[in-house]
Amino acid sequence: MEKITINTPGYTSDILVGEKWETVSELLPQEDTIIITDHNVKKIYGGLFPEAPVLSLAPGEGSKKIEIVEDLARQLLDAGIDRAGFVLAIGGGVVCDVAGFLASIYMRGIRCGYVASTLLAQVDASTGGKNGVNLRDTKNMLGTIRQPEFVICDPAILLTLPEQEYLSGLAELIKTAIIGDKELFEIIESSFDKIEARDSDLLTTLVAKSVKFKGMVVSRDEKEIGLRRILNFGHTFGHAVELQKGIKHGFAVASGMVLAAEFSFEKGYISIEEKTRMIDLLKRFKLATRFDLTDEQMKDLVFHDKKKTGTDIHFVFTHGIGKATVEKIPVDEALFFYNKFRDK
Ligand SMILES: NC(=O)c1ccc[n+]([C@@H]2O[C@H](COP(=O)([O-])OP(=O)(O)OC[C@H]3O[C@@H](n4cnc5c(N)ncnc54)[C@H](O)[C@@H]3O)[C@@H](O)[C@H]2O)c1
């Protein structure tokens, strides 16, 4: 087991990678814990949950709504949860985002911790303190940044994850490798069979490396005013596809990464060999999907992106495997590039 600690002003968050999730009871207060999960996770693992009331959400992005948060808050109140209460999320990114948001606003904030049950939640969604819900067609429009006390990332819980969900998480792992960890990229490149087999030791190594990188970034820039923006590699175009086509987050980000790699090559930041290596790795895991939104659709979505400021956007470029920078570019430049490279 590897413990990675993220320190931000006022908070310490321990990410326990390779820990058995059933040990979570040892981290909870004696009473006043409430568990938030989704129906799928409850069906498979509910019998092993710690002794506490369980609130279960419908699985999927549709549960990331303010109405759901309000409903959960009412149920916390009915269950007598006060300021000494503890919210334990057991689930993927959706459950962690909703439960983390609720815990951060309920009675102006109560304690919370997560058991991250998807690869995406382990490598990305559960770490860093961002949480929130969607508003109309804009993702994560309402939310806060607040670190959970702990996150457990147990590779064993990933064995029941549907293949597409597993691959979706792998895309975020590849993202971390491209922007910040060349060694991680090389391990992924050379471990195809073990990754497919969900090898427990390998997953512990990969998740720990990814969490360490994200933890370093978040510790330096929790509020995303600088460095943290690099975590959005592939997200400008990716979020647009995710919303428009309703595909899984990781697949959308993977497509966004293909375009961002092409854009970086076009700008002369990476060689053709580096670009090919990045895109080939995504293709090997069948992650890159077609990019066939019309220019108008892309324009609408990019203009609603909350990362846009005025007519500019912070776009993340790669400068080689393990390196990335953020540049403020006109939205029009991103759209011009999109028109040039999209599938027609
Ligand atoms: N807060 C952040 O920093 C951050 C970062 C990245 C992504 N996100 C958010 O995360 C969300 C996506 O998360 P996700 O991909 O984990 O999706 P998810 O939470 O919807 O889970 C995917 C599916 O897997 C099922 N599932 C979960 N654990 C399982 C298990 N162990 N075995 C079997 N089935 C299981 C769920 O019921 C669901 O159907 C998006 O809303 C995205 O915006 C947040």
Interval 157-179: pLDDT, tens? 999 999 999 999 999 999 999 99
Our answer to whether residue 39 is catalytic in this structure is no
At residue 241, the pLDDT reads: 82
Distance in Å, CA 94 to ligand 1 centroid: 5
Helix count and strand count (H, E) for the chain? 13, 12
35-53 pLDDT, tens per residue? 999 999 999 999 999 999 9
Measured N-to-C along each axis, helices 295-303 and 235-245 cross at an angle, to the nearest 10 degrees, of 110
* Phi–psi pair at 327, nearest 5 degrees: -125, 140
Q: Residue 321 has what pLDDT?
A: 97
What's the alpha-carbon Rg for the chain, to the nearest Å? 19
Q: Measured from the CB, is residue 228 less than 6 Å from ligand 1?
A: no
Pocket test for ligand 1, best of 90, 117, 118 (most atoms within 8 A of CB): 118
Q: Give percent of the chain above pLDDT 70.
A: 98
Compute CA distances 3 → 16, 156, 243, 313, whole Å.
Answer: 5, 17, 35, 36
- Looking at residue 169, the DSSP 8-state letter turns out to be H
7 catalytic? Reply is no
User: What gap in Å lies between CA 145 and CA 100, rounded to an integer?
Assistant: 9
Taken in order of first residue, the domains within the chain and their CATH numbers are 2-160 (3.40.50.1970), 189-341 (1.20.1090.10)
Q: Is 134 left (phi over 0), alpha (psi -120 to 50) or beta?
A: beta
What are the pLDDT digits (tens) for 118-148?
999 999 988 999 999 999 877 889 999 999 9
Core vs surface per residue 36-63: b (16+ CB within 10 A) or e: bbbebbbeebeeebbeeeebbbebebeb
- Element containing residue 237 per DSSP (H, E): helix 235-245
CA-nearest residue for atom 3, ligand 1, is: 125
Backbone dihedral angles phi then psi of residue 111, each to the nearest 5 degrees: -70, 150
Q: Please, are residues 153 and 190 in contact by the beta-carbon 8 Å criterion?
A: no
| Residue nearest to ligand 1 atom 14, measured at CA | 93
Active site residue 273: no
Q: What pLDDT, on the 0 to 100 scale, is given for residue 215?
A: 94
**Which ligand 1 atom sits nearest the alpha carbon of residue 172?**
6
CA of 118 relative to ligand 1 center, distance in Å: 6
What global pTM score does this model have? 0.95
> With pLDDT > 90 as the criterion, what percentage of the chain qualifies?
78
116 phi and psi angles, rounded to 5 deg: -85, 115
- 239 catalytically annotated: yes
Sign of the four-CA dihedral 169, 211, 313, 325? negative
Is 74 annotated as catalytic? no
Give dist(CA 183, CA 206) in Å, integer.
10
Ligand 1 center from residue 169 Cα (angstroms): 9
Q: How far apart, in whole angstroms, are the C-alpha atoms of residue 161 and residue 231? A: 24
On average, the pLDDT of the chain sits at 93
- Contact between 181 and 209 (Cβ < 8 Å): yes
Question: Under a CB-based contact definition with an 8 Å cutoff, are residues 204 and 195 in contact?
Answer: no
Closest protein CA for atom 7 of ligand 1: 125
Residues with pLDDT less than 70, the chain: 304-309
